[in-house]
A and B are shown apart, each in its own frame.
Chain A
Amino acid sequence: MGLMSSYRLRLQRRRLIARALLRRGELTSVVNRLGQLPRHPVLVFTTLRNERVRLPYFLQYYRGLGVDHFLMVDNGSDDGSRDYLAEQPDVSLWDANASYGKSRYGMDWIMYLLRQYGEGNWCLTVDVDEFLVYPFCETRPLRALTDWLDASNIRTFSAMLLDMYPKGNGGEQLYLEGQNPFEIAEWFDAGNYTISPNPSHSNLWIQGGPRARTFFPGNPKAAPALNKIPLVKWRRPYAYVSSTHMMLPRGLNLTYDQSGGEKASGCLLHAKFLNTLAEKAAEESQRREHYRKGHEYAAYHRGLSDEPDFWCRWSERYTNWKQLETLGLISKGNWA
């Protein structure tokens, strides 16, 4: 990698940070409870809009993993999400009533909060429908993982997005508030992922899964990226480049081993395909604010109304992290 490209990446990083700082004015603090935190807390950062039904389980899940605090940005919910979050004792909440698309799909806001409150802490950036699974997560809290990462001098932890889906039409099974979404969306694709290295940023592009298989038959290249680096020991100079898919400086993207060994990694179980979606896809398709101007959502909208069933006889039913490790989707690395 030459000097020029290093310089370009540095400029890109600076620009991303500058954007985040410029857009801090779009954030209004609703409630800030960050004063009462323990030293070196584990923090969750989330942007959302109209996710009221999903919030209780989301918070419950991450509280169960031992997350100390949630920093959440509400992008104009009108379904009660905002009031619900404002009442939670471990949530700090910001309003952002500007355009989601123009803020890099919320990343500018999140990056500002990461800069402001994340420095030196382990920060997990996830959406409300993303649930982190990592080796030993049933017996070891998130703090055990971050302590081990610290001890091993590891700064970033990758967790690829694993799309979970129900058997049969997602619309048939009603998702109830507080329910574990994976009681309904309990299936996933185990081994149809494509991996290509991205030399400019040293990360891996991962695509595939049920969405690629079903929504993008003619154009696999357009299928969504599934590689994610959601857990980072944050430092001021860091930047997320494209959602949480990759970071700068690019050394942070080296979450994979290149000499044959396995590094530790996890999965973000993606509870996108639930009955709440049909409504939401219609709404987002209207708003056209999501990635690629709602292109993906439009595809879902069409897909969900035409042939909404991802399930096939090769679908795998989720049981636990050990299953994901056996299937080769995650690894314990040298954590034992």
Chain B
Amino acid sequence: MTLGIVMLCHTALDRAAQVARHWAVAGCPVVLHVDAKVPAAEFGQLQTALADLTKIRFSRRFACEWGTWSLVEASQIAATAMLSEFPEVRHVYLTSGSCLPLRPVAELRAYLDSHPRTDFIESVMAGDVGWTVGGLDLERFTLRFPFSWRRQRKLFDAYVTVQRKLGIRRRIPAGITPHLGSQWWCLTRQSLSAVLESPDRAKYDDYFKRVWIPDESYFQTLIRLVSAKLESRSLTLAKFDVQGRPHIFYDDHRQLLRRSECFVARKIWPHAEGLYDSFLAQTPPRDVQPDPNPTGIDRLFSAAKDRRLAGRTGLYMQSRFPHASHGGDTCAAPYSVLAGFSALFENFADWLSRTSATKVHGHLFAPDRVEFAGNETVYAGGLSDNARHRDYNPRSFLTSLIWNTRGEHQSFQFAPADAQPIASFIAQDPNARVSLISGAFLVPLFQSNRNFGEIRAEAARLQKIEGEFLSLLRGPKTRARVRIWTLAEFIESPMAALQSLVSDIAPRSEMRVTEVPKLVDLQGFDQFLQNLRNQGMQLTLLGDLSAESGNAPRDQQPNRPYVVR
């Protein structure tokens, strides 16, 4: 059986010559179409380079532009030449100058021999395809496209919009159903000649001349009228990126390409010396005939697509800096913000870290320095404990910390006395888990050895700050997961609250809280509160803290750790 190769070339003619020679030497006639825009000198060089080969022809040259009829015309002319010049040809394979055969030609021939009547052409009903860039699928066939998409994009778009608005539509010729697919096909002589010699060809050609990107639809549509046996897939491995441009293959893809077992790949970087050397080496055909299976390459390119479109959540860097509405308001992983706990319990961070087996920091936003876990002065990624650095860009600080420590849950203490500018970011971050005991900020004041006048002023200041944080957390923009207890509620049943905190931080651990942290001594706290009230302060955030419950939580004796069974 003879396989004929049609090559559409416009750049890197030295590579095209190399590949044409490879096909020809293996016994395949080759017809090259060289873009009319290629200078005569270069074309001459190509002809000279292939002059010693008898099975090479050059077809009439058209100036080709992407997305236009010229590409179909070039394919028609070259295919016609192939069929008439080489009567022995049974399958015609349309390729480009940047295609590279990946398997020995004999294997391709054997494959076609086992499918002697089959046309290999991707042909998908328009409207069913999901891959068209710009959202035009069926409209390719019903609108008019007099403007160039590449050179006159604004006019192109405007004209499409106008036609849509006015409802202007072209009539699709009777008898054809628009299909789309990869332009790289391999057709039998019978089918191909039936398309080219069809009595209606003039009518179809007239119609397709005004279809957009007809090289992806002309043969794909008309083949449906004539094919005896059609496999809707291309034998050429060609993948497109998010912009609709072909992915390019380099030397480092060699293993993937080899493992894909595809017959031909497009598009190859012209300077990929290693690919040309290894795949154009004359290798004998193998006995086994594996089917093409490009899953490795598919995976690679779909990862690239994800990266370009979605990126890595919570990563802020030189080439990814999303708007708040596009994921610019979140950290890379869930983290816990604990407000009030360290005021109520002694060594709370240590306890929580031990109990949940995760990283628990002190007050990361403390006014004087960053209290990293373990009291470190520099932390993951090289973050400094310098408060000025942190406050220079608190958002970068927090997102960096969570990014740098991904894989390990981070928690930190937060209090109204801390630097507050980060608060709004935390509130809207879906990865933030905020647990807050409102009014707990009064406890350190209660314990402090300061003049009461100062305490009174500080209490009012902190209450205002905490009030603002609370209204932020209760606001409509909040996407953080928020749990709020008043001090009164918390003291009522601290165990339940702590247990929920731990299971939140380490959800998979079956751990039950067996050791509880030591509550600070609240003896006299109720009197302290009363003194504040007597000084004219309204305590709004504590909840209903009665004089009795103020110093003796129901399920816990103060000052004595105990064990829950």
Q: Is A bound to B?
A: yes
The binding surface of chain B is classed by DSSP as mixed
Indicate if the CB atoms of B322 and A259 lie closer than 8 Å. Answer: yes
A108 to chain B, nearest CB (A): 26
A262 is an interface residue with CB less than 8 A from chain B = yes
A329 is an interface residue with CB less than 8 A from chain B = yes
Choose the segment among A88-96, A186-194, A236-244 that binds chain B (4+ C-beta atoms closer than 8 Å): A186-194
Which B367-408 residues have C-beta < 8 A from chain A?
Answer: 378-384, 386, 388-389, 392-393, 396-397, 400, 403-404
Task: With CB as the reference atom, state the residue of chain B lying closest to A265.
Answer: B319
A314 is an interface residue with CB less than 8 A from chain B = yes
CA distance A262 to B396 in the complex (A): 17
A57 is an interface residue with CB less than 8 A from chain B = no
B61 is an interface residue with CB less than 8 A from chain A = no
Interface size range on B against A? 35 or more
Instruction: Among A158, A217, A315, A335, point to the contact of B304 (Cβ < 8 A).
Output: A335
Indicate if the CB atoms of B318 and A204 lie closer than 8 Å. Answer: yes
Choose the segment among A25-33, A120-128, A167-175, A205-213 that binds chain B (4+ C-beta atoms closer than 8 Å): A205-213
CA distance A310 to B528 in the complex (A): 49
B241 to chain A, nearest CB (A): 5
Indicate if the CB atoms of B321 and A257 lie closer than 8 Å. Answer: yes
CA distance A195 to B400 in the complex (A): 10
Q: A143-B271, A256-B318, A328-B317 are in contact. Are A220 and B392 (CB under 8 A)?
A: yes
B476 to chain A, nearest CB (A): 22
Instruction: Among A140, A189, A335, point to the contact of B381 (Cβ < 8 A).
Output: A189
Indicate if the CB atoms of B318 and A206 lie closer than 8 Å. Answer: yes
Task: With CB as the reference atom, state the residue of chain A lying closest to B396.
Answer: A194
Indicate if the CB atoms of B308 and A258 lie closer than 8 Å. Answer: no
Indicate if the CB atoms of A219 and B323 lie closer than 8 Å. Answer: no
Which residues in A have their C-beta under 8 angstroms from that of B310? 260-261
Q: A260-B327, A332-B307 are in contact. Are A312 and B378 (CB under 8 A)?
A: yes
Indicate if the CB atoms of B403 and A191 lie closer than 8 Å. Answer: yes
Which residues in A have their C-beta under 8 angstroms from that of B271? 141, 143-144
A151 is an interface residue with CB less than 8 A from chain B = yes
Q: A209-B382, A213-B389 are in contact. Are A262 and B301 (CB under 8 A)?
A: no
Indicate if the CB atoms of B382 and A332 lie closer than 8 Å. Answer: no
Which B295-322 residues have C-beta < 8 A from chain A?
Answer: 300-301, 303-305, 307-312, 315-322
Indicate if the CB atoms of A255 and B319 lie closer than 8 Å. Answer: yes
A248 is an interface residue with CB less than 8 A from chain B = no
Which residues in A have their C-beta under 8 angstroms from that of B396? 193-196, 208
Which A138-173 residues have C-beta < 8 A from chain B?
Answer: 139-141, 143-144, 147-148, 151-153, 158-160
A333 is an interface residue with CB less than 8 A from chain B = yes
Which residues in B have their C-beta under 8 angstroms from that of A147? 248, 269
Indicate if the CB atoms of A192 and B320 lie closer than 8 Å. Answer: no
A268 to chain B, nearest CB (A): 11
Indicate if the CB atoms of B319 and A220 lie closer than 8 Å. Answer: no
Indicate if the CB atoms of B392 and A334 lie closer than 8 Å. Answer: no
Instruction: Among B248, B327, B379, B382, point to the contact of A151 (Cβ < 8 A).
Output: B248
Q: A262-B307, A265-B319, A334-B304 are in contact. Are A152 and B403 (CB under 8 A)?
A: no
Which residues in A have their C-beta under 8 angstroms from that of B252? 136, 139-140
CA distance A330 to B311 in the complex (A): 12
Q: A191-B382, A314-B381 are in contact. Are A260 and B311 (CB under 8 A)?
A: yes
Number of interface residues of A (CB under 8 A): 60
Indicate if the CB atoms of A331 and B389 lie closer than 8 Å. Answer: no
CA distance A294 to B171 in the complex (A): 73
Indicate if the CB atoms of A314 and B378 lie closer than 8 Å. Answer: yes
CA distance A314 to B309 in the complex (A): 31
Indicate if the CB atoms of B241 and A217 lie closer than 8 Å. Answer: no
B150 to chain A, nearest CB (A): 9
Indicate if the CB atoms of A220 and B389 lie closer than 8 Å. Answer: yes
Contact string against B for A residues 95-108, beta-carbon threshold 8 Å, 1 for contact and 0 otherwise: 00000000000000
Indicate if the CB atoms of A194 and B392 lie closer than 8 Å. Answer: yes
B247 is an interface residue with CB less than 8 A from chain A = yes
CA distance A153 to B308 in the complex (A): 15
A75 is an interface residue with CB less than 8 A from chain B = no
A110 is an interface residue with CB less than 8 A from chain B = no
B152 is an interface residue with CB less than 8 A from chain A = no
Q: A144-B269, A191-B400, A262-B307 are in contact. Are A219 and B388 (CB under 8 A)?
A: yes
Indicate if the CB atoms of A257 and B319 lie closer than 8 Å. Answer: yes
Q: A212-B389, A312-B378 are in contact. Are A263 and B320 (CB under 8 A)?
A: yes
CA distance A147 to B12 in the complex (A): 13
Which residues in B have their C-beta under 8 angstroms from that of A196? 393, 396
CA distance A119 to B267 in the complex (A): 28
Indicate if the CB atoms of B319 and A152 lie closer than 8 Å. Answer: no
A26 to chain B, nearest CB (A): 33
A264 is an interface residue with CB less than 8 A from chain B = yes
Indicate if the CB atoms of B388 and A218 lie closer than 8 Å. Answer: yes
B243 is an interface residue with CB less than 8 A from chain A = yes
B81 is an interface residue with CB less than 8 A from chain A = no
Instruction: Among B300, B317, B321, B381, point to the contact of A258 (Cβ < 8 A).
Output: B321
B251 is an interface residue with CB less than 8 A from chain A = yes
Task: With CB as the reference atom, state the residue of chain B lying closest to A259.
Answer: B326
Which residues in B have their C-beta under 8 angstroms from that of A218? 388
Which residues in B have their C-beta under 8 angstroms from that of A329? 317-318
A221 is an interface residue with CB less than 8 A from chain B = yes
B124 is an interface residue with CB less than 8 A from chain A = no
Instruction: Among B245, B269, B317, point to the contact of A195 (Cβ < 8 A).
Output: B317
Indicate if the CB atoms of B320 and A261 lie closer than 8 Å. Answer: yes
B244 to chain A, nearest CB (A): 11
Indicate if the CB atoms of B248 and A262 lie closer than 8 Å. Answer: no
Indicate if the CB atoms of B326 and A328 lie closer than 8 Å. Answer: no
New contact pairs (8) apart from A194-B396, A195-B316, A260-B326, CB-CB < 8 Å:
A152-B245, A256-B321, A260-B309, A260-B322, A261-B307, A312-B382, A315-B382, A331-B307
A-B contact pairs, 17 of them (CB 8 A): A136-B250, A139-B251, A160-B318, A193-B317, A196-B396, A197-B321, A217-B384, A257-B308, A257-B311, A257-B322, A260-B309, A260-B328, A262-B315, A263-B319, A332-B304, A334-B304, A335-B304
